[in-house]
Amino acid sequence: MSSAIHQLSASEAARAIRAGRLTSETLVAACLERIAARDGELAAWAHVAADASLAQARALDRQPARGPLHGVPVGIKDIFDTADMPTEYNSAIYRGHRPRADAAAVTLLRQAGCVVLGKTVTAEFANLHPPATRNPRNPAHTPGGSSSGSAAAVADRMVPLALGTQTAGSVIRPAAFCGVIGLKPSFGSINRTGVKPVSDTLDTIGLFSNTLEDAALALSLLSGRPVPDFASQIAAPRIGVARTSRWNDADAATHAALESAARRLASAGADVKDAALPPAAEALFDAQGLIMNFEAARALAWEQSNHREAISATLLKRLDEGWAVSREQYDNARQTARDARRQFADLMRGYDLLLTPSARGEAPLGLASTGDSLFNRVWTLLGVPSVSLPSGSGPNGLPLGIQLVSAIEQDTALLAHAQWAASALARAGRRHSPAQLPGTVPAGSVST
C-alpha cells in the first residue's frame, strides 16, 4: 500500500485507518509528499499547513474514530474562513488575513475527525478572474473555476476530498474538466457561515472526490443527510435527457458522450426519454447572470469602494454590470426563478434524474479563462442537486463529464441513482472497446 497511499479514496483510507492498517499521520505525510512533488507545476494550493496537519493527524491516531472519515485529509477552498491559517480569497486586499473563527463547514469537518490539510486556490473572490492553477490532466489547459485548486488537487491525488462552492458552475465544470466527481447539493444543504459571499441566493457549498461514496459520506457529515445504501439493489431510474435550448453550444464530443451515455443507460434497463425544460426554466440561462451580478456587486461593495485598484479588470467589469441592474430587473428575474422552480418540480414528477452536459466541452487551452458555466447555471438557480461524472474524453484527450440532476432536496436519492448510472456505464465500457462503444444518437432519437 505504501507506494500508493496518496491514491486511496477517502472512504478506502478511512476504512484502513479504522482497521489499523494505516495511520492518519502516514496518509497525511503521503499527501504532503505528493503536494511537494507536484504543486510547483500545478499551483493548486494557496497554503499548505504541513506541520499543523501532521500534528492533527497524530492526535487523531490516538483517539477513537469520531466519524466515517476519521483521519482523512481535506482541502478547503480559500474563501472559507480558517482561524489557524490565512484566508485570502486570492485577493491582494486580504494578503495575510487571518479570521478569528473557522467557517461552519470547516468546524464540522474537524469535529468529525478530518484533517484540514490546507487552503486550495480560488479564482479572485470566487468569481471570473482565473488563477494560476493548471489542469493536472494537461497543464497547458485550465482546470476550470472558481474552485480551481480543489478540483486540481483531488484530480492529482494530492488530497482525497476538497470543498468548493458553486454560484454558476464552479463545482460541476472544474470537476468535469479535471475528470473527478463534483457534487453540488441542494441549495442551503451545507451551512455557509464563514464563507465569503458572492450571491446570497445562489452560493452553494459543494464537494470534489474520486468516488461517489466519498462525496456521500462528506455530504452527510456536513449536512446531516443520510448516506445511500450503495450495497443494495435499486430499481433502474427514470431518466430524462435534457439537451436544453443551448444544445448547439456544446461541442461534438460532448454531444457524443451524452448520447452514448443515454444509449448505455437505456441498455442497462433505465427508462430513458427526452425531457424538455419548462419555459420559465429555459429563461434562467439569462436570469442567473443578472441575479448573480446584482448580488455580487453588493457583496463586494466595500472592496470596490475602498480598494478598486486592487481588483482585477475582469471582476470590476462584472461588478459594474451588477450596479447597472435595476431593482425591477432583479425582482423580475427572481420571480422567473420562482416560477421555474414550480414548473421544474412538476417536470420531475416523471423522472428520477435528468441527464445533461457538465460543460460545453473539454477544458479550454490556456489559463486566460476558466471556461463557460452555460450548462450549470440553470441548475444552480433552481437550487436542485447535481453531480458530474467523468465520461470519456474530448479531441485533446482531456476529460468530459456528464451531469445528473434531481429534484430539490433529493440529494440522497441522486447519489444512489448516480451510483447505479456509474456502475451501468462502467459495465458497458468493459463490454466494448472504445471503437465499439455506442455512437452518436441524433437529438430526439431517444424514446419518448
Contact between 178 and 135 under an 8 Å Cβ cutoff? The reply is yes
Q: What whole-number distance in Å separates Cα of residue 323 and Cα of residue 327?
A: 10
CA–CA separation, 143 and 155 (whole Å)? 10
* Nearest of 149, 179, 184, 188 to residue 165 by alpha carbon: 184
The residue type of 296 is A
| CA distance linking residue 182 with residue 275, whole number of Å | 23
Q: 221 with 67: CB under 8 angstroms?
A: yes
**Dihedral over Cα of 404, 440, 375, 146: its sign:** positive
Share in percent of the chain as helix, strand, coil (round to 5): 45, 15, 40
Residue of 7, 399, 423 lying closest to 172 (CA atoms): 399
From CA 376, how far away is CA 379, in angstroms rounded?
A: 6
In this structure, which amino acid lies at residue 257? A
Q: Is residue 249 exposed (0-12), middle (13-18) or buried (19+ Cβ within 10 Å)?
A: middle
DSSP E strands in 50-90: the ranges are 73-77
The phi-psi region of residue 134 (left if phi > 0; otherwise alpha if psi is between -120 and 50; otherwise beta) is beta
Please give the positions annotated as active site: 77, 146, 170
Show the cell assigned to 210.
474520486
| 146 prior amide bond cis, ω within 30 | yes
How far is it, in rounded angstroms, from Cα 21 to Cα 359? Answer: 40
Q: Measuring CA to CA, which residue among 213, 220, 131 is closest to residue 174?
A: 131
Residue identified by cell 412538476 is: 346
User: Which residue stretches of 43-95 are H helix?
Assistant: 50-61
> What stretch of H or E contains 405?
strand 399-405
